[in-house]
Amino acid sequence: MKELFSISPTTRVCAVIGNPIEHSLSPAIHNAAYRHLGLDLVYVAHRVEDVKNALAGMRAFDNFRGLSVTIPHKIEVMKYVDEIAAVDRAIGSINTVVHEKDRLIGLGTDGPGALKALVDAGVQLDGKAVLMIGAGGAARAIAFTLAMNRKLRELIIMDIDQTICRGLTADLTAGTDAVVKSESMTEGNLAGAMATADVIVHCTPIGMHPKVDASLIPVEMFRPGQVVFDAVYTPLETKLLRDAKTCGLTIISGVEMFINQAVLQFEQFTSGDAPVAVMRRVVMEHLES
């Protein structure tokens, strides 16, 4: 393994900003990748409350190359960049900023990270019915990415908050050609959707530590041939995924999305291929410890 260059005036800087930020795995993941490739880069974490001035500082430093953005700044940061892709503007949030000469380019890697996880698992999405449970930030990113990059038969969105659910459905209908339906999260509606869904995408905190024994989908609702993707990655295998596995279904952990979004950020920051195996190893070491 190559060693990280000594920090010098030529060293480029990347960072993650959020509040709180102490829990972030991003410095460990990115710095391990930089060391492996011998890149003259360093990645740090900053607790930030003043997003406007944080972005002004990024502009001021020529060697400030990239920024990862986490809660609660993914929406506000959009105000202070120069360019945002259409899909990310429709999603309404970004998690990545790249410093290109005198411009700041904003984009999102959560949605593409989820799509890559599905594709890597061999999931065929064209012509399929997707049931998305949850309509928050992660759901928006994934829903728009799927709707704009694949020809879904239909996309059904469920959430206990009908205002958010209907809002996402309206935005998807206006911004894509996808057939989108919004339904309240009732047992009857869930059973009906599960009877036709080919792919289930779970985007709520249910099943996350400490409530690891909870799942929104009763095991009897699963049917053969379905794919179940859970955006939750702590624990690595949620009750939802365990139940789906017992039914012989294809399951995809949220850790795949998490790794993929970091890989995509790395490639934006460095303009090179990421050492995926190294980044995966670091993530798994932290999550399994």
Per-residue model confidence as pLDDT tens digits over 47-84: 999 999 999 999 999 999 999 999 899 999 999 999 99
CA distances from 128 to 69, 169, 201 (A): 32, 18, 13
Question: What is the homologous superfamily of the domain 112-252 according to CATH?
Answer: NAD(P)-binding Rossmann-like Domain (3.40.50.720)
pLDDT in the model for residue 115:
98
d(CA 251, CA 253): 7
Query: Taking the complete model, does pTM exceed 0.85, yes or no?
Result: yes
**Tell me: the pLDDT tens digits for 85-120?**
989 999 999 999 999 999 999 999 999 999 999 999
Low-confidence ranges of the chain (pLDDT < 50): 1-4
pLDDT in the model for residue 211:
82
Domain spans in the chain, listed from the N-terminal domain onward: 12-108+258-288, 112-252
pLDDT in the model for residue 4:
46
Whether 74 is a known active-site residue: answer yes
Indicate which residue of 74, 116, 128, 239 is catalytic: 74
Other beta carbons within 10 angstroms of residue 238's beta carbon come to 28
pLDDT in the model for residue 289:
76
Nearest to 193, CA basis, from 153, 147, 157, 240: 157
d(CA 128, CA 123): 10
pLDDT in the model for residue 54:
97
pLDDT in the model for residue 5:
53
Length of the chain: 289
pLDDT in the model for residue 244:
98
Domain 12-108+258-288 shares a fold with domain 112-252: yes
The CATH code for residues 12-108+258-288 is: 3.40.50.10860
d(CA 68, CA 96): 5
pLDDT in the model for residue 160:
94
Residue pair 71/94 in contact by the 8 Å Cβ criterion:
no
pLDDT in the model for residue 209:
82
